[in-house]
Amino acid sequence: MFQKKPDSESKTHYALLNIRLGTQAEDENWLDEILRVRFLEAKVNHDRWQEESELVQAELQYTQR
């Protein structure tokens, strides 16, 4: 079956996971921390594209005048 090759971002998260498991296996919050980081990355991307969309719409309105 088809398997996606890991990109650099997933390699980074995998490395973080290995580091966390290797050094702090007793810490129960490592998964929460990884999910929090992933959520914040997604939020930043969403906000960035939202701002870009607003700028493009403003530019289109300006050029139509």
- pLDDT on residue 50: 97
Q: How far is CA 56 from the centre of its chain?
A: 23
The SS3 call for residue 28 is coil
- pLDDT on residue 62: 93
**Confidence category of residue 42, pLDDT binned at 50, 70, 90:** very high
- 56 is a domain residue: yes
- Flag whether pLDDT at 56 surpasses 90: yes
- 7 is a domain residue: no
- pLDDT on residue 59: 96
Structure tokens at 55: 């700028």
- 20 is a domain residue: no
- 57 is a domain residue: yes
Domain that holds residue 62: 38-65
How many domains is the chain partitioned into structurally? 1
Compute the average pLDDT of residues 5-13.
59
- 59 is a domain residue: yes
- 23 is a domain residue: no
- 44 is a domain residue: yes
Beta carbons within 8 Å of 30's beta carbon, 6+ residues apart? 17, 20, 21, 24
* pLDDT one-digit tens code per residue, 16-38: 656 555 555 556 788 899 999 99
